[in-house]
Chain A
Amino acid sequence: MTDYWVSKLFFDLQQDAKLAAEYRADMPGVLARYEIKPDVRQALLEDDVGKIAPLVNAYLLRFYFQIRGMPQDEFIARLHALKAEKGKAHG
């Protein structure tokens, strides 16, 4: 299910280098400007790829974790772990 405000945050961060710099320096301050649910906000603070992935377009997700500075290999590994978990759940 698409989360509009998380999507909007990711879109804005991609569009605005100054906002992205501010986000790196003060995540809670920037997050406070968006109507993001508390559990999702926590997931953002914890870089919880699995929790965030279903909420946004996959391309925006990729941009976001680039802005967060997560190495591509780590990002891919975390995504692959979701596939493994899904496999177990349906096992």
Chain B
Amino acid sequence: MADLVGAFAASHGPIIARDWDTMATDHRERLAAGFDELGRRLKACRPNLLVVISPDHWVNFFISNLPAVCIGIGEEHDGPPEPFMRKVFARERLKGHAAFGRHLLQTALDGDFEPALSHRLKLDHGTCIPLWRMAVDAELPIVPLLINDLEEPMPSIRRCLAWGRLLRQAIESYREPLRIAVLGTGGLSHSIGEPTMGWIDEEFDHACIRHFADGEDARLAAFLTEALPRTGNGAHEIRDWVVAHAAAGSKGFELIDYFPSPQTLVGAGFAAWRVAA
């Protein structure tokens, strides 16, 4: 049987990659410290598979065909297509894990979830900035779980919690003795391409952190359902943290760092969960 050995979350944002070498040193060092600590912890839990929960930033899907959730079940996936990513993370291919991807898909269907599937995804900056900065081993297979965090209507927070529990069920019912970690990427608050662009809603971010620490799913869902429409659109990526949170058993949240990062336009958050048995 497989085990969940770690659950993590990190922010991402194109500017982190685009301006990494030119941003203020103290800012870069603080971002680097958050990613480095996550990378250290991920390595310490010795995973042999990583499920990355991330949005798709219009590189795989368009409004002509836009899944709420898509599981990558291919043996490999394509590296980031964005030019600013190729400069810092020049991987053409990322190793997938078809067998676990299919098992997650089948577990979902058996549990009355109907995700889309893809045998080959392009993994954009949302997935690859954390992989790059956390120095994740290129040989570690990735199973992407893409959530629509960008275009309304989006999956409810209740459903994201259910996805997290389903992911845990899939891990624990997988027959091979894999050590599986999960990583949610995105958030915390940010505002992109809308009249509040650049706004970092620290009040929202601190409330999220309190709710993750509280560990009460109903309160977390109620808060986010009410608060997300009132804050910047980038905060919808908190869904990816919610999936990781529920996969970890909704307990044991540990904030590694949080700070508003106006230079990268995000409320930068880094977190881990002490995984409940």
Chain A CB within 10 Å, residue with most, of B57, B62, B195: B195
State whether the Cβ of B197 lies closer than 8 Å to any Cβ in chain A.
Answer: yes
Q: B58 and A63: CB pair below 8 A?
A: yes
Q: A79 and B58: CB pair below 8 A?
A: no
Given the complex of chains A and B, what is the CA–CA distance between A17 and B82 in angstroms? 10
Chain B positions 187 through 200: 1 when the CB is less than 8 Å from some CB of chain A, otherwise 0: 00000111111100
Given the complex of chains A and B, what is the CA–CA distance between A80 and B195 in angstroms? 5
- Chain B residues whose C-beta falls within 8 Å of the C-beta of A15 in the assembled complex: 59, 81
Q: How far is the CB of A5 from chain B (nearest CB, A)?
A: 11
Given the complex of chains A and B, what is the CA–CA distance between A8 and B197 in angstroms? 23
Least CB separation from B62: chain A residue:
A11
State whether the Cβ of B117 lies closer than 8 Å to any Cβ in chain A.
Answer: no
Known: A2-B63, A4-B63, A14-B58. A59 touches B195 (CB 8 A): no
- Chain A residues whose C-beta falls within 8 Å of the C-beta of B193 in the assembled complex: 53, 57-62, 79
Partner of A7, one of B57, B63, B192, B194: B63
State whether the Cβ of B114 lies closer than 8 Å to any Cβ in chain A.
Answer: no
Least CB separation from B233: chain A residue:
A58
The number of chain B residues with a CB under 8 A from chain A is: 18
Chain B positions 222 through 266: 1 when the CB is less than 8 Å from some CB of chain A, otherwise 0: 000000000001000000000000000000000000000000000
Given the complex of chains A and B, what is the CA–CA distance between A45 and B237 in angstroms? 32
Q: B150 and A57: CB pair below 8 A?
A: yes
Q: A83 and B195: CB pair below 8 A?
A: yes
State whether the Cβ of B151 lies closer than 8 Å to any Cβ in chain A.
Answer: yes
Known: A7-B62, A7-B63, A63-B58. A58 touches B192 (CB 8 A): yes
Least CB separation from A61: chain B residue:
B193
Least CB separation from A80: chain B residue:
B195
| 55-95 of chain B: CB within 8 A of chain A | 57-59, 62-64, 81, 83
Chain B positions 22 through 61: 1 when the CB is less than 8 Å from some CB of chain A, otherwise 0: 0000000000000000000000000000000000011100
Q: How far is the CB of A71 from chain B (nearest CB, A)?
A: 13
State whether the Cβ of A82 lies closer than 8 Å to any Cβ in chain B.
Answer: yes
- Chain B residues whose C-beta falls within 8 Å of the C-beta of A82 in the assembled complex: 195
- Chain B residues whose C-beta falls within 8 Å of the C-beta of A61 in the assembled complex: 193
- Chain A residues whose C-beta falls within 8 Å of the C-beta of B194 in the assembled complex: 53, 58, 79
| 12-27 of chain A: CB within 8 A of chain B | 14-15, 17
Given the complex of chains A and B, what is the CA–CA distance between A18 and B59 in angstroms? 16
Given the complex of chains A and B, what is the CA–CA distance between A11 and B66 in angstroms? 13
Least CB separation from A60: chain B residue:
B58
Chain A positions within 8 Å of B, measured between CB atoms, are 2, 4, 7-8, 11, 14-15, 17, 53, 57-63, 75-76, 79-80, 82-83, 86
Q: List 30 A-B contacts (CB under 8 A).
A: A4-B64, A7-B62, A7-B63, A8-B64, A14-B58, A15-B59, A15-B81, A17-B83, A53-B194, A57-B63, A57-B151, A58-B192, A58-B233, A59-B150, A59-B192, A59-B193, A60-B58, A61-B193, A62-B192, A62-B193, A75-B197, A76-B197, A76-B198, A79-B193, A79-B196, A79-B197, A80-B195, A80-B198, A83-B195, A86-B195
